[in-house]
Structure 1
Amino acid sequence: MPLVAALALATPLKAQEAGISVELNAQEQVEAGCKLSFLARNGLDGDIAKAVYETVLFDGNGQVERLTLFDFGTLPAGKPRLRQFVVPGLQCEALGQILINGASTCEAGELGAAACLQGLTLNSRTDVEMMG
């Protein structure tokens, strides 16, 4: 019976890994603006040649601060990638939420154009909430 329970638990974990995960790992105030560091992981069966996400930044009151595009570039299967973006003129402490609104560009070969949003999971190691 314990083996059956272990097998039942293994299935959901595998399902969570099959997809794209994006974590807001850090934010740092720099002279030009707010530098956001994202850790992206591709848990799909193939590489993504180019992933560009339409991203909405909200202030601490939930109001839209700006709509922008974050180019995550290549996301190889099974390998984490750190991507950093400096948002000009933004004060990091004013940032309240980040919404991944969709994929503006997704070049994923045989995986198809929907691959960049397939199983998308969002996390944050900061006080800024990630939504999608």
Structure 2
Amino acid sequence: MADDRIPGIDPTAQPSGDGCADCLAGDGPGWWFHLRRCAECGHIGCCDSSPSQHGTKHARAAGHPFLTSFEPGEEWFWNIETDQYYEGPQLALPTAHPASQPTPGPRGKVPADWQLHLH
């Protein structure tokens, strides 16, 4: 049987939670615009438009090149080293935050002028 594993993507890695792990831990203002999932370890971070940009920061610090969306209805992989989109395997569920979670989120943490804080 051939090994179809893509280096930097672990389909069995579980998401670290429903929101940006770093924002929820108190690093930065505590809210995000969109969420990204590390395809290697499952770490959930905020997107590059978010104030803290934890998703890409994690990927670079950990040496994990692939991020994927953690937004409902989005299925793509982005390689931070090549700046290209890729197709990849189905990842362990869940593949998105709960639909009941607002975007931006989390509920109660997003400032009224949130658009002014995006990158």
TM-score class, shorter: under 0.3
TM-score computed with the length of structure 1 as normaliser: 0.24
RCO higher in structure (CA 8 A, sep ≥6): 1
The structure with the greater share of residues assigned to strand is: 1
Larger Rg, first or second structure (1 or 2): 1
TM-score computed with the length of structure 2 as normaliser: 0.26
The structure with the greater share of residues assigned to helix is: 1
